[in-house]
């Protein structure tokens, strides 16, 4: 390995670290809301700090059960055949998502909108 290769690796590592920490810095703050989309339409906007359960009707009359508890959102049941969304971990940080492709349901954590 040449000296230039080592410099290139160090520059790439520094750039990756800068992007990672920049993203974390820009997205820090309170994760206030769970936003549910069906297709491209917003279906529901719920506070993350209140325990709640929601039955989501997705595409083709498919359903997903969203449970918000202890500051985390989790899809616990789904009518889709593969149930990948059910096996994903609960989310609580800004930008995290749970996706159910067959039902076209997206659950994401966002900051509270300022009206």
Residues 44 and 23 occupy one common structural domain: no
pLDDT at 30: 63
- Distance from C-alpha of 110 to C-alpha of 81, rounded to nearest angstrom: 28
Query: What pLDDT is stored for residue 115 in this prediction?
Result: 54
pLDDT at 21 over 80: yes
Q: What is the mean pLDDT of the chain?
A: 89
> 59 and 16, same structural domain?
no
23: pLDDT strictly greater than 90: no
Same domain, 69 and 50: yes
How many domains in the chain? Answer: 2
Same domain for 48 and 14?
no
User: Six-digit token pair at 39?
Assistant: 């297709």
Q: What pLDDT does 15 receive? A: 95
pLDDT at 45: 94
Tell me how far apart the alpha carbons of residues 66 and 69 are, in angstroms, rounded to a whole number.
10
pTM of the model as a whole: 0.73
Q: How far apart are CA 102 and CA 112, in angstroms?
A: 28
Domain span holding position 7: 1-29
Q: Examine the domain organization and report whether 54 and 84 are in the same domain.
A: yes
Cα distance between residue 76 and residue 95, in whole Å: 20
| Kind of pairing between the strands at 105-110 and 33-38 | antiparallel
pLDDT at 75: 97
- 30-79 tens-digit pLDDT: 668 999 999 999 999 999 999 999 999 998 889 999 999 999 999 999 99
């Amino acid at each position: 390995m040449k000296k230039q290769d080592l410099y290139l690796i160090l520059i790439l590592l520094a750039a990756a670290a800068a992007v990672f920490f920049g993203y974390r810095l820009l997205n820090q703050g309170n994760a206030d809301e769970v936003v549910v989309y069906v297709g491209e339409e917003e279906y529901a906007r719920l506070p993350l700090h209140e325990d709640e359960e929601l039955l989501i009707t997705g595409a083709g009359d498919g359903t997903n059960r969203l449970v918000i508890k202890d500051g985390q959102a989790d899809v616990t049941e789904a009518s889709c055949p593969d149930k990948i969304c059910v096996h994903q971990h609960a989310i609580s940080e800004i930008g995290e998502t749970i996706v159910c492709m067959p039902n076209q349901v997206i659950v994401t954590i966002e900051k509270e909108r300022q009206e």
